[in-house]
Amino acid sequence: MRDVAEQLRRYGEAVEEMAMASPGLAHPHPEPRRRGRHVLVVAGALGLVMVGSLAVWAARDGTPSAEVRTSVPPTAEPRGPGTPASVSSDMGGLILYGGVPLSTRHDSAVVATGDLVVVWGGGIEGPNFGRPELGDATFSDGAFLDLASGTWHPMAPSPLPAAEDTRPVGIWTGDEVLIFRGSSGGAWDPTTDTWTDLPPAPGRVTRAFWTGDEVIALGADATFRLGDGGWSDLPAGPFPPTSLLDGTAVAGVWTGSELLIVNKSMGDVVQVAAYDPDRRSWRSLPDGKLSFGSMAIGAAWTGGDLVVIGYDNDVAALDLQTRQWRALDPLPVVPQESVPRLVAVEETIVAHQGPGVSVLSGGGWTVFPVDQFPFGAPEPGPGGTVLTFGLTDAEGSILGVFDPRRAVADPKRLQIGFSSLQLDDSETLRSMSSRNEEGARTPITATITTPEGDCTVTDVGAQQPPAVECPSEVTSEKLRSQLAPPPG
Amino acid sequence: MKEVEGLSSGAETFEDFVRVMRPRLTRAFVGCRGVSDAPDAAAEALAFAYEHWERVRTMENPGGYLYRVGQSRTRLRKPPSLPLPAEVNLPEIEPDLVPAMLALPESQRTAIWLVHACGWSYAEVAEATGASVSMIGNHLSRGMHRLRRRLEVDSNA
């Protein structure tokens, strides 16, 4: 038989029969289970079908019990009821979860496991955030939000040393959350709320990616296999080791089969290389270009394109199939001295740069005022959402779960240059842009459709409100009244 | 590909649900937990469904969700133990199929197992694994290429 798919289908049927014939399901399990857990043997429920009995528990000591349990069994989830998150939303597509049972902080590792959002570590420089009373601190504790119940739970104390003043990196393997800070690491199991110490990395981990089989750690230039695998050096690639590069000039994305590493070298060149963990080999990809300026870059993977953003808000995409670069619309926000961050939700791009959170979808960019979001780098969230965690103007830290595709459907508050614009129900965003023309960037402009016709709202600099032009002065005045300078 | 009667069970009662879902989940878990542990994983998943029946019964794809539940509640860090084809009375199947499957990276093995051995759709596998549909397609295509290369069969097979 040559057809591999057909062989698999037949083999699948055969092993299903074998597994279903296993006596373990038909009767209460006579032995303590492998991990010593209480396990609900669904033989009872199955027995409604097969033998007419009800659900039966196999107790930890292995003594079969005839007790019928209908409440939540001991699922090896030692978490208590948790504390309800305060949930709020003043913007379509953005839900804010407050009541975080942690000290005020930012720069935490934020990892989505599917049903949970884990927040671990981070720090605070109170004076820099206008909160001198908070002082400076680095934290080694964490908490997780159960999205299903909307409750926060503290995590068990971690084995990571507290002294390192380095932003933690977190990834989800499908079974555990791995946290790295500096060269230290720990694995947290959400089903048992327990940590396993990981062997130290050969260098400081600045970014980490899970391939399905191993961790690829930038900064440490190494790979790590769980179990007995340990750390191995990453084979030498076309760039210098990432430990020697400016961390803000290096970005990486996992495509599902390769790790793409992007390095903004001196000048306007963006170098890209792909690492194949199966072959443990590298291949070079064509260089791209971003405008000359700061070396800081961000990158995201859409499923077909590597999208790269530079500090000057130039955006470019490399199609991995055609190996061709193309320029995308520049981000229409005021550049700031910060590391731009990108997250892709399939082909929708979310950019965190300057005084806005921007979404690039089929119709172009939409920029939302950053004051609505927790101040933090975006991370991929569950179900096509993007997570941001950090400080807000209000007390404490907060978690934002942002659905960009829902948010751009009918945006009602926009960031235009240094000001925000509140739209009413009769007004809709048509487009936002800041194009490159003959080497110069045109001003940031939003086109707003009103019942009277299209209006343009154009940024003219930090010291003045945007210029508004509508078909009539009455409508212009109305839109001007809906503009607000940024808080602070 | 064999069309599996939707992972959304359409069951009115938990007993009907179990009747439909138990064999599907058990087969699915064989790929990641092996024959001996797959029933445990299915039992864990169905136990969860029993405890949260009001929620699970309204899900569009409870099979994918319960697959994740069963995986997270029964963890294993070594490749699953699978019988050779001859041990399940399929001597006509390539003997190397099982070792070739086990040699694949977990992500590729899971995608191949759920799609080809269990008949799940890409979308169902995406739901079950938390990956995107395009990523499942990627895992599947690369995994099948490696399987075929290892089994030295025609790539069009």
Q: Residue range A417-438: average pLDDT?
A: 88
Summarize the confidence of residues B42-51 as an average pLDDT: 85
Angle at which helices B62-73 and B122-129 cross, to 10°: 40
What is the mean predicted confidence (pLDDT) over A336-356? 83
Check CB contact under 8 Å for B27 and A40.
no
Contact B18 A22 (CB under 8 A): no
Q: Are B43 and A41 an interchain contact pair (Cβ–Cβ within 8 Å)?
A: yes
ipTM of this complex > 0.95? no
Nearest beta carbon to residue B38 from set A19, A211, A382: A19
For the segment A326-342, the average pLDDT, to the nearest whole number, is 83
Mean per-residue pLDDT, A203-207 = 91
Contact check, Cβ <8 Å, A22/B112? no
pLDDT for A357-404, tens place per residue? 899 988 799 999 888 888 788 899 988 899 999 887 666 889 999 999
Q: Higher-confidence residue: B154 or A421?
A: A421
Closest residue by Cα to residue A108 from A181, A38, A41: A181
Place A50 in a pLDDT band, splitting at 50, 70 and 90.
Answer: very low
Work out the pLDDT band at A73, boundaries 50, 70, 90.
very low
Q: Please count the residue pairs, one from chain A and one from chain B, whose beta carbons lie less than 8 angstroms apart.
A: 184
Show the tokens assigned to A266. 């001196």
Q: What does the DSSP assignment read for B39-58?
A: HHHHHHHHHHHHHTHHHHTT
Give the Cα-Cα-Cα angle A149, A152, A153 (nearest 5 degrees): 115
Q: Whole-number mean pLDDT of chain A?
A: 81
Of residues B47, B94, B129, nearest to A7 (C-beta): B94
Round to whole Å and give the CA distance between A182 and A270. 27
Residues of B in contact with A346 (CB under 8 A): 132, 134
Q: How far apart are CA B135 and CA B127, in angstroms?
A: 12
Read off the pLDDT band of A52 (50, 70, 90): very low
> Residue B27: which of A16, A48, A55 has the nearest Cβ?
A16
Chain B neighbors of A11, CB-CB under 8 A: 85, 88, 90, 93, 97-98, 117
Residues of A in contact with B85 (CB under 8 A): 7, 11, 14
Question: Is the CB of residue A302 less than 8 Å from the CB of residue A316?
Answer: no
Chain A residues touching residue B14 (CB < 8 angstroms)? 45, 48
Query: What residue of B is the nearest CA neighbor of A50?
Result: B19
Asked if pLDDT for residue A66 goes beyond 70, the answer is no
Lowest-confidence segment of A43-47, A233-237, A476-480, B35-39 by average pLDDT: A43-47
Q: Is the pLDDT of residue A68 over 70?
A: no
Give yes or no for residue A162 having a pLDDT over 70.
yes
What's the whole-number mean pLDDT along residues A283-288? 92
Say if the Cβ atoms of A5 and B1 lie within 8 Å.
Answer: yes
Q: A-chain residues within 8 Å CB-CB of B41?
A: none
Residue B120: how many other CB atoms lie within 10 Å: 27
Nearest to B93 among A11, A76, A213 (CB): A11
pLDDT for residue B63: 87
Contact A7 B43 (CB under 8 A): no
Which residue carries 């990981």 as its tokens? Answer: A198
B135 closest CB neighbour out of A8, A14, A256: A256
Name, of A14-23, A243-252, B59-68, B127-136, the range with top average pLDDT.
B59-68
Where does the pLDDT of residue A273 fall: very low under 50, low under 70, confident under 90, or very high at 90 and above? very high
Report the pLDDT averaged over residues B124-133. 82
Q: How confident is the model at residue B136 (pLDDT cuts 50, 70, 90)?
A: confident
To the nearest 10 degrees (0 to 180), the angle between helices B14-51 and B62-73 is 40
pLDDT at residue A43, rounded to an integer:
41
From the CA of B6, how many Å to the nearest CA of chain A?
17
